[in-house]
Amino acid sequence: MSVHTSLARYRTLPVYEFAAPIPEALSPQLKALRAAAPPPPPPPPAAEAAWRIWLNDYEQTEADYVEHFGRFLEQVDTTRVRELIIGGWADMIQTSADLPIRLLVEAADRFPELRLIALADVNSDECEISWIPQGDIAPLLRAFPELEVLEVRGGAGMTFQAGDGLELEPVRHEALRVLRLESGGLPSGPVAAVSACDLPALEHLELWLGDEDYGATWEMPDLAEILSGERLPSLRHLGLQNSTRQDEIAAAVASAPVVARLESLSLAMGALTDEGAEALLAGQPLTHLDWLGLHHHYLSDEMMDRVRAALPDVEVDLSDRQDDDGEWLYVEVGE
């Protein structure tokens, strides 16, 4: 299944679309349609919007995007911008997210109030999630020490590295509260790197681990530090989800030290079967949770009843049950 929702789940401000000018080389029909459309609303004060920067189509180049980003720096008081959403950039099949990442890092001193970055807010009509070429996202954390929310979509080519990128060095960030990586298949590198980071303020961690057919190469040891919770003292929500290996994850979570301090847990969107749910029920108590997300699952009626009975005071989301045909179990978001 594809993804059609907005990436910026944690924005607090209304979105303002900072689109590029309409290209001159349009057909007469398109020009007429554009001319008949209502004019865009006037720009709001810089501090009162989540600014979404994007290009109109794939025919525009890296140079067009650099020019458009420069236009944003010129026209908007970026010293007041708090939330920034990066939409499509140039030809996203050929150009990785290193382009907008580089431009943001180079202009970091012009964004002293920036608290949220949503990188690759692109739906499936523009580019499938597994096709979005990501890059090294660690420079964003180093360049924006006051950043509180980082949400990233894609997976192809995603790294999370410091220094020259040849070795993984743990990143320490004092302010980050929310980290979300949406992917149809996460490589091992970013999963292991997140696990090795020191994020003392992090409250919400969400990883869409994905399907091997769409790039997932992570292994269970990559999750070890996350499950221990030692580097995440403030964590209150953990999402290890959208995985073909959801049963293995559930079994690991059943004895993970981090679970005792959580308020909510998501093992949703993946191929969770009765085997994984059985491991959860046999493990440590989950009765302290406010919410347990298991939606998009392959549980039997009997197992769903057992989960509800074991957690009567927990809001358990068991919606979107899938049919198990005995052959293929799918994640919610792959391609």
Q: Is there a domain that residue 265 lies in?
A: yes
Q: Is there a domain that residue 235 lies in?
A: yes
Q: Same domain for 154 and 232?
A: no
Q: Same domain for 258 and 112?
A: no
Q: Same domain for 135 and 26?
A: yes
Q: Same domain for 153 and 204?
A: no
Q: Is there a domain that residue 5 lies in?
A: yes
- The pLDDT of residue 167 is 34
- The pLDDT of residue 215 is 87
- The pLDDT of residue 166 is 27
Q: Is there a domain that residue 164 lies in?
A: no
- For 290, residues 6+ apart whose C-beta sits below 8 A from its C-beta are 263, 264, 314, 315
CATH code for the domain of 304: 3.80.10.10
- The pLDDT of residue 31 is 67
Of 96, 125, 158, the residue that ends a domain is 158
Q: Same domain for 317 and 268?
A: yes
In the chain, how many domains are there?
Answer: 2
pLDDT in tens, the chain (335 residues): 567 677 788 899 999 999 777 666 556 776 677 677 777 778 999 999 999 999 866 667 889 999 999 999 999 999 999 999 999 887 777 788 999 999 999 999 999 999 999 999 988 777 788 888 888 899 999 999 999 999 999 876 666 664 433 234 578 999 999 999 999 999 888 899 999 999 999 999 999 999 999 889 999 999 999 999 999 999 999 999 999 999 999 999 999 999 999 999 999 999 999 999 999 999 999 999 999 999 999 999 999 999 999 999 999 999 999 998 777 899 999 87
Q: Same domain for 191 and 106?
A: no
Q: Enter the tokens of residue 75.
A: 């026209």
Taking the alpha carbons at both ends of the chain, their separation in whole angstroms is: 7
Q: Is there a domain that residue 163 lies in?
A: no
Of 108, 124, 158, the residue that ends a domain is 158
The angle, 0 to 180 degrees and rounded to 10, between the axes of the packed helices 274-282 and 301-310 is 20
Q: Same domain for 270 and 189?
A: yes
Q: Is there a domain that residue 39 lies in?
A: yes
**Alpha helices by DSSP H, 129-255:** 138-143, 188-196, 224-228, 246-253
Residue 200 near residue 148 (C-beta atoms within 8 A): no
Q: Is there a domain that residue 173 lies in?
A: no
Q: Same domain for 102 and 217?
A: no
- The pLDDT of residue 93 is 76
Residue 279 near residue 299 (C-beta atoms within 8 A): no
Q: Same domain for 315 and 205?
A: yes
Q: Same domain for 154 and 213?
A: no
Of 158, 175, 197, the residue that ends a domain is 158
What predicted TM-score, i.e. pTM, was given to this entire model?
A: 0.92
Amino acid at 317: D
- The pLDDT of residue 161 is 62
Amino acid at 259: V
Q: Same domain for 199 and 263?
A: yes
Q: Is there a domain that residue 26 lies in?
A: yes
- The pLDDT of residue 102 is 96
Q: Enter the tokens of residue 260.
A: 């005792």
Q: Residue 185's closest CA among 261, 129, 118, 136?
A: 129
The total number of residues shown for the chain amounts to 335
Q: Give CA–CA dist 248/276, Å, rounded.
A: 7
Q: Same domain for 5 and 125?
A: yes
Give the H/E segment covering residue 102: helix 98-106
* Domain of residue 322, residue span: 183-335
